[in-house]
Chains A and B, each alone.
Chain A
Amino acid sequence: MEAMNTAAGPAPKPVNNRSSDVLLEVALYVFAVLFLIVLMYPLYFIVIASFSDPSAVANGRVWLYPQGFTLDGYKELFKHDNIWTGYGNTILYTVVGTAIGLIVNISAAYALSRKDLVGRKFLSLFFIFTMFFSGGLIPTFLTIRDFHLYDTFLVMVLPFSVVVYDIIVARTFFQSSIPGDLWEAAQIDGCGNIRYFISVVLPLSKAIISVLGLWIAVGYWNSYFNALIYLKNPDLHPLQLILRNILITNQMQTALGSGEAAQIAMRLANMMRYSVIIIATVPIMCVYPFVQKYFNQGVMIGAVKE
Chain B
Amino acid sequence: MRSGQTYAARKLGQIRRNGGLYLLLLPAAVLTLLFAYKPMYGVLIAFKDYSPALGITDSPWAGFKYFEKFFHSYQFSATIKNTVVLSLYSLVTFPIPILLALMVNQMRPNRFKRFFQTVSYMPHFISTVVMVGLMLILLSPSTGLVGHLYRLFGAEAPDLIGSASLFSSLYVWSDVWQHVGWDSIIYIAALSTIDPSLYEAATVDGASRWHKIRYIDIPMLMPTAITLLILRVGGLLGVGFEKVYLMQNDLNITSSEILSTYVYKIGLLSSQYSFSSAINLFNTVINFILLILVNQLSKKYSENSLW
Residues of A that sit less than 8 Å from B by CB: 2, 4-12, 14-16, 18, 20-21, 24-25, 28, 31-32, 35-36, 38-40, 42-43, 45-46, 57-58, 60, 103-105, 107-108, 110-112, 114, 116-118, 123, 126-127, 130, 132-144, 147, 158-162, 167, 192-194, 196-197, 218, 221-225, 229, 240, 243-244, 246-248, 270, 273-274, 277, 280-281, 284-285, 288-289, 292, 295-296, 299-300, 302-303, 305
Contacts and interface: CB of A to CB of B under 8 A. Distances in A.
Contact of B143 (A5, A28, A58): A58
B39 to A, nearest CB: 3
B4 interface: no
Most chain A beta-carbon neighbours within 10 Å: one of B28, B123, B151, B185: B28
Contact of B145 (A18, A45, A193, A247): A45
Q: Size band of the B side of the interface?
A: 35 or more
A21 B209 CA distance: 6
> What are the 7 closest A-B residue pairs judged by CB atoms, nearest first?
A135-B39, A193-B20, A139-B42, A247-B133, A60-B148, A136-B280, A222-B127
B28 A133 contact: no
Interface in B182-204: 185-186, 188-196, 199-200, 202-203
Interface of B: 11, 14-15, 18-25, 27-29, 31-32, 34-43, 45, 56, 100, 103, 105-109, 112-114, 116, 118-123, 125-130, 132-134, 136-138, 142-143, 145, 147-148, 151-152, 177, 181, 185-186, 188-196, 199-200, 202-203, 206, 208-210, 212, 224, 227, 234, 241-242, 246, 260, 263-264, 267-268, 273, 276-277, 280-281, 283-284, 287-288, 291
B109 to A, nearest CB: 5
B20 A194 contact: yes
A118 B15 contact: yes
A contact patch SS: helix
B123 A43 contact: yes
Contact of B280 (A40, A107, A138): A138
Nearest to B260: A137
A285 B122 CA distance: 7
B208 A20 contact: yes
Contact of B35 (A21, A57, A140): A140
24 contacts: A5-B188, A12-B203, A18-B208, A35-B116, A36-B116, A39-B123, A42-B138, A111-B22, A118-B18, A127-B32, A133-B288, A136-B39, A137-B276, A138-B42, A141-B267, A197-B20, A222-B128, A248-B129, A248-B132, A248-B133, A280-B127, A299-B186, A300-B185, A303-B189
A9 B109 contact: yes
B43 A135 contact: yes
Nearest to B123: A39
A58 B145 CA distance: 9
B221 to A, nearest CB: 11
Most chain A beta-carbon neighbours within 10 Å: one of B11, B137, B241, B242: B137
B208 A136 contact: no
B210 A108 contact: no
B270 to A, nearest CB: 12
A32 B107 contact: yes
B224 A284 contact: no
Contact of A134 (B21, B40, B186): B40
B18 A193 contact: yes
B242 A224 contact: yes
Contacts of B181: 39
A99 B43 CA distance: 31
A112 B39 contact: no
B212 A159 contact: no
Contact of B103 (A31, A167, A288): A31
Nearest to A21: B209
A110 B24 CA distance: 8
Nearest to A13: B108
Nearest to B19: A193
Given A38-B177, A222-B127, A299-B185, A60 B151 contact: yes
